[in-house]
Chain A
Amino acid sequence: MMRFAAALVAGAATVALSTSAAFAAETLDAVKERGEVVCGVSTGLPGFSNPDESGQWSGIDVDVCRAVGAAVLGDADKVKFVPLTAKERFTALQSGEIDILSRNTTWTLTRDSSLGLNFAGVNYYDGQGFLVKKDLGVSSATELDGASVCIQAGTTTELNLADYFRFKGMEYSPVVFDTSDQTVQGFSAGRCDVLTSDQSQLYALRTKLDDPDSAMVLPEVISKEPLGPVVRQGDDQWFNIVKWTLFAQLNAEELGVTMDNVEDMKSSDNPSIKRLIGTDGDMGEKLGLAADWAANVVAQVGNYGEMFERNVGMDTPLQIARGLNALWTAGGIQYAPPIR
């Protein structure tokens, strides 16, 4: 009780930033002792983190956490998911309720510098785009002068839209809705010509139209939304683990190591592959992990490409092309430093 009272006083005086320091270098030990990684996800965003019929979480953000579970504990299922709303997500991380925040969070300077948090990488390069009806006959966002635009209220989307149209010297009339579901209803009912949101969401929203093929996503992207996992500032070891787990998945794709062939690759002669899957060098030890950390990640969660295709790729209802998220060798910007 005294401790509680003391903490109340201390908490009132200092709040968020100071708390994060107290966790320095403790996360890995805490996770090992607990036997599970606690991961903050969204309350339901298709392709990123969404519960399925049986209440299992799936999505690309979920897989980031599962990969960390595989790297640290050797088991991708030793992850506990905590659904968080947009408002409480940073507090949950600052207060130590979760170890990783993997909740389609955009990496911005303000968040990186003022919240006591570190962004550990980018698992999805997103950007704001436009969805239009095909019969509108528009093929580029520059032809949208005078259009009415359906938007969700209170999002950065609204600000980006205003910036873009002002910059291009075009007029538009906003039609504002409260939830993404209402937005797509409004678009479907013809209340507006264009629907704008993050591109990854446009694909999900399009499947909710009565006739998904009647609408198309325009090629223009009017904002940068790099989404990635976030950890507390001050625990560099944990920061490195999360960062390099993602890099290991990217390197695995680049080297052609997949879920299926990772066992065979253990006899590979390629020095890069040997370092990745731990048959050579002490890469795991440097991170404070077992030697086969990356092999576990690839075997249980897959490389980055497999993770992408399984959750949001062309064979899923979302049908998102790799685009910016292709490897740098394939025309995208996903580039990981080498493991050596």
Chain B
Amino acid sequence: MSSRDSESQVFTPRPALPPPPRTVGLAGWARQNLFSSIPNTLLTLLSAYLVWVLVPPVIDWAILSANFFGDSNDACTGEGACWVFIGQRLNFFIYGFYPDPERWRVNTVFILLALALVPQFFPMVPAKVRTWLGVFALTLYPVLAAVLLMGGLFGLPFIETSKWGGLMLTLVLSYVGIVVSLPVGTLLALGRRSGMPIIRTICVLFIELWRGVPLISVLFMASVMLPLFLPDGVNFDKLLRALIGISMFWSAYMAEVVRGGLQGIPKGQYEAAAALGLGYWKATLLVTLPQALKLVIPGIVNTFIALFKDTTLVLIIGLFDILGAVQSAIVDPAWGHVAIEGYVFAALCFWVFCFGMSQYSQGLERKLHTGHKR
């Protein structure tokens, strides 16, 4: 027995074999994702070749051979990018014609905007603080920014809008466009779905009129035709005309986006709100509109991004937004061929803002996700 005992086999678990080396690590990942089939392998090789051909020259141009320091065209060797040009013209690209001693006002407006918006990206900031900052950004901030930028009050010298330009003008145009178009668009969407014939007709007419013409022609009408019809001496500000044009135009687009959301809500929601005894405004503001807006966040942000980029069209009415400022600077004969540097810089500025908006909207979607997503 004892011998049998000693011979009895005790189960000693052996550690599992490692997975075959071909399926783990970098090699395994590459095998599965890059070289799983012949077409896949060919595509991988082609992509690698393209990266090899394209990326090193771009890096070389933009960084390695580029010139960063100096104060004139002489500092540029001509082999790489001439970032000196951007550095020298940066003030013009950001402030336009805004007088030098008053630029702190623009900076203050920028900083306030950053203070109000950047915390929205960080969940660790208490929700209450973020809400208040958001309310500030939509209500008090535009007024404060207008006073600071325009001046003429509290001892600040008056700066006429013809001196505004560059990134600052782009932000003013798009911020006003965004802040005006969402509420106006929402009202128009509600109006279009209203049962009252006069309101509905007005809203439909407004939306179809503004949506039916290109933004360029709106701006042209505002800047070329309107002055001819105004009485002598009445000249209202070119920037204001552009702002009104942009706001009206995008309100019409926004109205259709929001209407899409309103139609996407199940009818039961409307009926349930009515059954609870809620009136039109309460039902709309507490039940249907929040759901509708949540549903169309991607559409709304899409419209915002399009609006942001379309502000460059003010170029054709002689306002210097950031692209206009870049374009007027690259023709300066004191500099060599700097067009690419200028356009890359402008593109980068636009990308930063558009990407920021897109990221924010995705964060918002995650936050408001209540399990209805399909």
Contact = CB atoms under 8 A, between A and B. Distances in A.
A96 interface: yes
Contacts of A92: 227
Q: A interface, how many residues as a size bin?
A: 35 or more
A51 B97 contact: yes
Interface in B257-300: none
A7 B333 contact: no
Interface stretch (A157-165, A204-212, A270-278, A329-337): A204-212
B224 interface: yes
Contact of B337 (A16, A22, A210): A210
B337 A53 contact: no
A46 B229 contact: no
Given A80-B162, A82-B162, A204 B235 contact: no
B88 A19 contact: no
B197 to A, nearest CB: 27
Interface residues of B, number: 46
B28 interface: no
B331 A45 contact: yes
A88 B241 CA distance: 14
B231 A46 contact: no
A43 interface: yes
B271 to A, nearest CB: 45
Nearest to A12: B229
Contacts of B228: 11, 15-16, 19, 91, 94-95
A172 B86 CA distance: 39
A55 B92 contact: yes
A85 B337 contact: no
A188 to B, nearest CB: 8
Interface stretch (B128-136, B313-321, B361-369): B313-321
Question: How would you classify the secondary structure of chain B's contact residues: helix, strand, loop or mixed?
Answer: helix
Contacts of B92: 51-55
Contacts of A54: 91-92, 100
B332 interface: yes
A12 B228 CA distance: 9
Contacts of A23: 232
Contacts of A209: 337
A232 to B, nearest CB: 12
Interface string A18-30: 0100110000000
Nearest to B162: A82
Interface string A75-112: 00000111111011001101111000000000000000
Given A43-B320, A45-B331, A96-B235, A4 B230 contact: yes
Interface in A193-235: 203-204, 207-210
A192 interface: no
Interface in B308-334: 315-320, 324-325, 327-334
A181 interface: yes
A82 B336 contact: no
Nearest to A179: B327
A180 interface: yes
A84 B318 CA distance: 5
A149 interface: no
Contacts of B98: 55
Contact of B331 (A46, A87, A88): A46
Contacts of B315: 43
Interface string B16-51: 000000000000000000000000000000000000
A121 interface: no
A44 interface: yes
A146 interface: no
B328 A96 contact: no
A10 B196 CA distance: 36
B250 interface: no
B191 interface: no
Interface string B216-248: 000010011101111111110000000000000
A140 B334 CA distance: 28
Contacts of A45: 331
A6 B231 CA distance: 9
B165 A97 contact: no
B151 interface: no
B339 interface: yes
13 contacts: A3-B231, A6-B231, A47-B333, A50-B332, A51-B92, A55-B91, A83-B320, A84-B318, A85-B316, A87-B220, A87-B316, A96-B232, A180-B331
Interface of B: 78, 88-89, 91-92, 95-98, 100, 160, 162-163, 165, 220, 223-225, 227-235, 315-320, 324-325, 327-334, 336-337, 339
